[in-house]
Amino acid sequence: MLNYLFAASGMIFALSVFRFQYVSGGVDRAYLGLYKGVAESSVIVFSNAGYALPRPYFSIDLFKQNIEEYLSKSLSPYVGKDFKTSYLFANTVGGKESEPNEASVLLECALSSFASFSKRASFVVTEGKQ
């Protein structure tokens, strides 16, 4: 009878470890997916008239919208809507504060009752060679 208790305990432990690895791996994949063009789609390169801007910059509202939309879709199987994001924007080359060339997003969520995920992804727009 004690053998059944040990077997059941071992099975519950194995399933708990599998679930934790599944959730943490999924959240990490979603975080790494931020670098695959989600932020790049928020860069403004051309003016409304169609001319190339002297300095490309991040659209703050578009950046936030794209990140939230991507994370909502990517994290829903793992943590649902239980995640937080915070943003930092900076303009290090001069110019308007509303046209930042640096952006970062901090992703925080609970993986389980004893572990959490907290990582920051940073992006910089540089002038390319033409």
Burial 19-35 (b: 16+ CB within 10 A, else e): eeeebeebbeebbeebe
Do 85 and 71 touch, CB atoms closer than 8 A? yes
pLDDT at residue 128 tops 70: no
Q: Is residue 7 part of a domain?
A: yes
Per-residue pLDDT tens over the stretch 9-68? 999 999 999 999 999 999 999 999 998 888 889 888 887 777 877 888 899 999 999 999
Residue 17's identity, in one-letter code, is V
Q: Is residue 8 part of a domain?
A: yes
Q: Is residue 75 part of a domain?
A: yes
- Our count of domains for the chain comes to 1
- Domain span at 101: 2-124
- pTM of the predicted structure, to 2 decimals: 0.84
pLDDT at 130: 52
CATH of the domain at 24: 3.30.1300
pLDDT at residue 129 tops 70: no
Q: Is residue 130 part of a domain?
A: no
pLDDT at residue 116 tops 70: yes
Q: Return d(Cα 40, Cα 83) in angstroms, integer.
A: 22
